[in-house]
Amino acid sequence: MRPEKDVLDFEYMRHEAAVVDAWARPERFLALHVGAGVCTLPRYLAYRYDDSRHIAVDVDADLPLLARQWWDLPRAPRLRIREQDGLDAVASRHDASVDLIVRDAFAGDETPQSLADDVWWAHARRALRPGGLVIANIGTRPGGQAHRADAAAAAAHFTGLVAIGEPAVLKGRRRGNVILAAAPALNVDSLRRYAASAPLPTGVSTRWPS
């Protein structure tokens, strides 16, 4: 039986983990998680990559701190939890000071605009070290425009964007979540192999949203 720390129940988190696997990551990396929640992904990545370090920020300080009481989360310095606004979390970083940024923050079913505009993506690009990676969980719905503006802002600062999600969601036919990966180079073939073997229908697109 696999250890609990090595299991991700939510499909979108499995997509995020697959992106990290497909990334030419440094042997030791520092990750900033914007939208800590109960720190499921930081806990998983800390377990999978022993030399990684994680900072998880959330505007709700209570939830991640309660998660420390409920589950066996890594202690600082492997996982540090802060109450902090998601824009301030990236804007306050020094240039080239973090390897991975994971944005998984929502107000209702959409990412707050302050975390999905040109300003946020510009700070994310500035804060990344060379070869760094941004993973963004984006909520979409047919006819919606917020995800298009979010992806356009990402494209203004990154090349080689890759989107992962249910094929119908990627095509804009139904509501759902898309994982957008932004990095100078990702192993897209590895992501396609992951998608082909995923338990639920999964697509990979380098031209999302089309």
| Sequence ranges of the domains in the chain | 4-205
Summarised one tens digit per residue, pLDDT across range 143-182 is 999 999 999 999 999 988 999 999 999 999 999 999 999 9
Summarised one tens digit per residue, pLDDT across range 25-41 is 998 999 999 997 778 89
Higher-pLDDT residue of 184, 118: 118
Summarised one tens digit per residue, pLDDT across range 81-116 is 888 999 999 999 999 999 999 999 998 888 999 999
Which of left, alpha, beta for 160 (phi over 0: left; psi -120 to 50: alpha)?
Answer: left
Side-chain half-sphere exposure of 35, counting CA atoms within 13 A: 17
Architecture of domain 4-205: 3-Layer(aba) Sandwich (3.40)
Q: Read off the pTM.
A: 0.94
Q: What percent of the chain has pLDDT over 70?
A: 94
- Per the prediction, the chain carries an average pLDDT of 91
Q: Do residues 81 and 25 lie in contact, with contact meaning Cβ atoms separated by under 8 Å? A: no
